[in-house]
């Protein structure tokens, strides 16, 4: 096999879209007898690392679960610290992301954010909207059930206005009303922190996503850990309801 063929084969085994539940910041800080916000700040470094790795490997889309709709129930001081960190990180990172060809987009309900944060999110989206090297999506005040309910509401309003017939609503139509409908659905979900659940994240979009659970707490999830997750993904046989025999080019599974 030539070098170019090997390169093409390696690219074929990479996910087009990676989703990440970044879990373990608070526990990482507590293990070091530090306040939980210390862990969230350390987690920002891990975010930079996975963005660099995606850009370097040519992965087209990365969606990070930064703050769920359920996270408002955390202590008020922690929520305030998270919002402040998000605001500061956006101001600091936006220009560099744009210079590296990263398009930044936010998904979730923005109604609970401050006017300052909402405006900054909007401005950064406009600043990076023409970039295409990496589509970086930040899920903030997001929930998969919220996403599905919002899609249903949009379609119901379209039917009410006479723009859409109820009979036209099918799986494809519904999917187009969801967040990130212009991107491939996630091929790989990574969850750090040792938990084995998806926690109301991209529920519709992850119907056939491969799941990788890491015991590493998010601030410790480095580029080597990401490479391990990608290697695990490359070994998966993605059948999408078909049999192994149907997927093989010659109608046979590997090894005959």
Would you name the residues annotated as active-site residues?
23, 71
DSSP-based three-state secondary structure for 196: coil
Question: Can you count the helices (H) and strands (E) in the chain?
Answer: 9, 6
Token pair belonging to 27 = 């526990």
DSSP strands (E only) in 39-154: 61-68, 102-107, 134-142
DSSP state at residue 83: H
């Amino acid at each position: 096999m030539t070098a170019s063929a090997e390169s093409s084969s390696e690219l074929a085994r990479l996910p087009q879209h990676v989703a990440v539940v970044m879990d373990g910041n608070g526990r990482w800080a507590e293990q070091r007898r530090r306040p939980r916000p210390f862990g969230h700040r350390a987690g920002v470094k891990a975010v930079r690392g996975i963005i660099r790795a995606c850009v370097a490997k040519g992965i087209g889309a990365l969606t990070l679960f930064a703050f769920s709709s359920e996270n408002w129930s955390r202590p008020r001081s922690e929520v305030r610290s998270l919002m402040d960190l998000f605001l500061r990180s956006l101001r600091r990172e936006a220009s560099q992301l744009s210079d590296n060809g990263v398009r930044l987009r936010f998904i979730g309900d923005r109604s609970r954010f401050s006017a300052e944060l909402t405006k900054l999110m909007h401005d950064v989206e406009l600043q990076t909207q023409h970039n295409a090297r990496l589509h970086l999506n930040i899920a903030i005040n997001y929930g998969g059930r919220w996403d599905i309910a919002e899609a249903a509401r949009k379609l119901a309003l379209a039917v009410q206005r006479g723009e859409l017939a109820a009979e036209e609503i099918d799986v494809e139509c519904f999917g187009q009303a969801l967040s990130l409908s212009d991107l491939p659905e996630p091929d790989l979900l990574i969850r750090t922190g040792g938990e084995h659940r998806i926690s109301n994240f991209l529920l519709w979009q992850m119907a056939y996503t491969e799941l990788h659970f890491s015991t590493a707490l998010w601030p410790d999830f480095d580029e080597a850990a990401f490479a391990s997750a990608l290697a695990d993904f490359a070994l998966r046989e993605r059948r999408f309801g078909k049999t192994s025999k149907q997927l093989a080019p010659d109608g046979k599974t590997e090894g005959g």
